[in-house]
Amino acid sequence: MQYPRLKKLSLLTSAPSILQNAPILEELKMTSNAIKANPAILDTIPSTLKKLKLKLEDGRNHVDPNTIERYLGRVAQQCQIQELTIHVDMFVAFENVLQAVYRFSMLQRLMLKFRRDWQPYQTERFLEGLVNACPHLSSLGIDCNHAPSTYSMNALKRLVHLKEFAFSIKDMGPYDSFWHELRTFSQLKCIRVRDEDPITKFQIRQLKKHRPDMNVIIDGWYQPF
């Protein structure tokens, strides 16, 4: 069966024939369950693809990170991806997958989610590389168990097109340098933050006073902008 008008597809379980017969597909979501059920779905890459979401945290159905890294490399070569979302369990297992993100030089929107195991120094290293590799980013989301460091915030200022940023503010209440970097992040127009506490509530009020042009969204869960 052909799907000549299909532009958006979510593969929660295996359905390779749909992917092969959707010539104008623009948005694709795949889970670990779908990939484990039929790894061949990674062999079909529609050249029209613009948005890709990989949910690689489906319980026991972990996929080989090297396989995903190679897949992302092929996608970067064959498609003009504008929006990329990756959910993973552990940073250590998927570090090479994140390195593959650097190949998407025209990327505009990126969302990364980690359940655990991403250390602050690893975050700094990744974000530094991201600034150099993906200069066109306008929207960035980092869902992990710690806030970006002051160093990372300063580095991200080099992304001159960055308008939206989602991140944790866990334990950032007393760190004036962090809030200074955020106040002076002039191109940012919208932030979505979580892990608010009584101390950070005060800092957020101060941020709103200094940056009335910035939309500040407090959210317990990360949602797309």
pTM: 0.92
158-184 mean pLDDT: 90
Phi and psi of 187, rounded to 5°?
Answer: -80, -15
- Lowest-confidence segment of 40-44, 85-89, 197-201, 219-223 by average pLDDT: 219-223
Whether residue 191 is predicted with pLDDT greater than 80 in this model: the reply is yes
Predicted local confidence at residue 183, as pLDDT: 95
Predicted local confidence at residue 78, as pLDDT: 96
C-beta separation of 42 from 36 below 8 A: no
How far is 45 from 186, CA to CA, in rounded Å? Answer: 38
pLDDT-based confidence at residue 58 (cuts at 50, 70, 90): low
Whether residue 225 is predicted with pLDDT greater than 60 in this model: the reply is no
pLDDT-based confidence at residue 71 (cuts at 50, 70, 90): very high
Of the CA atoms within 13 Å of residue 162, those in its CB half-sphere come to 22
Whether residue 222 is predicted with pLDDT greater than 60 in this model: the reply is no
C-beta separation of 120 from 142 below 8 A: no
C-beta separation of 92 from 123 below 8 A: no
User: 118-225 — its CATH code?
Assistant: 3.80.10.10
Chain-wide mean pLDDT for the chain?
89
- Dihedral angle computed from the Cα positions of residues 129, 132, 135 and 137, in that order, rounded to the nearest 10 degrees: 10
pLDDT-based confidence at residue 174 (cuts at 50, 70, 90): confident
Predicted local confidence at residue 116, as pLDDT: 66
Burial class from Cβ neighbours inside 10 Å (0-12, 13-18, 19+) for residue 44 reads: middle
N-to-C CA span, the chain: 35
Looking at residue 63, its amino acid is: V
Instruction: Give me the percent of the chain exceeding a pLDDT of 70.
Output: 91
Per-position DSSP letters for the chain, written without gaps between them: ---TT--EEEESS--HHHHHT-TT--EEEEEHHHHHH-GGGGG---TT--EEEEEE--TT-PPPHHHHHHHHHHHHHH----EEEEEEEEHHHHHHHHHHHTT-TT--EEEEEEEE---HHHHHHHHHHHHHH-TT--EEEEESSSPPPHHHHHHHTT-TT--EEEEE-TT-TT-HHHHHHHHT-TT--EEEEE---HHHHHHHHHHHHH-TTSEEEE-SS----
65-73 mean pLDDT: 94
Strand 139-143 to strand 109-116: parallel, antiparallel, or no bridges (unpaired)? parallel
Whether residue 140 is predicted with pLDDT greater than 60 in this model: the reply is yes
83-98 mean pLDDT: 81
129-156 mean pLDDT: 94
pLDDT-based confidence at residue 79 (cuts at 50, 70, 90): very high
Whether residue 40 is predicted with pLDDT greater than 80 in this model: the reply is yes
